[in-house]
Amino acid sequence: AQSVTQPDIHITVSEGASLELRCNYSYGATPYLFWYVQSPGQGLQLLLKYFSGDTLVQGIKGFEAEFKRSQSSFNLRKPSVHWSDAAEYFCAVGAHSNDYKLSFGAGTTVTVRA
């Protein structure tokens, strides 16, 4: 079965600084990979997804993520963080072995300081 690890529980970053959130997955083949963002008390909003092709994917709100097969990683990045980016971020994986139902990582909480 596939699994997802987000090593960082909480990250604090200054407004305007760059942000990188780590995601590692465990699966024998290439899964489908997603990043979602959740603001307090809200549902999940899709930031970006990787299915195949170009390993650098662009998403909404200025986010991008890079799939690295050799490292089984799909890290999320943003060059310059805004205060509105404070939220919880979830990496998720869908795999053929599980009918592509999503398995989520434990999430990373991002705090943005002024």
Partner 1 sequence: DAMVIQNPRYQVTQFGKPVTLSCSQTLNHNVMYWYQQKSSQAPKLLFHYYDKDFNNEADTPDNFQSRRPNTSFCFLDIRSPGLGDAAMYLCATSRDIGTGAMNTEAFFGQGTRLTVV
Q: Which is nearer to partner 1, 61 or 101 (CB)?
A: 101
Phi (first) and psi of residue 60, to 5 degrees: -85, 165
3 is a contact residue toward partner 1 (CB under 8 A): no
Question: Would you count residue 14 as binding partner 1 (CB under 8 A)?
Answer: no
Radius of gyration for the alpha carbons in the chain, expressed in angstroms and rounded: 14
Given the complex with partner 1, which of 67 and 90 has the nearer CB atom?
Answer: 90
Q: Rounded to the nearest 5°, which phi and psi values hold at 54?
A: -55, 125
Residue 52, interface with partner 1 (CB under 8 A)?
Answer: yes
- Structural tokens at position 27: 């699966």
Contact footprint for partner 1 (CB under 8 A): 32, 34, 36, 41-46, 49, 51-52, 90, 94, 96, 99-102, 104-107, 109
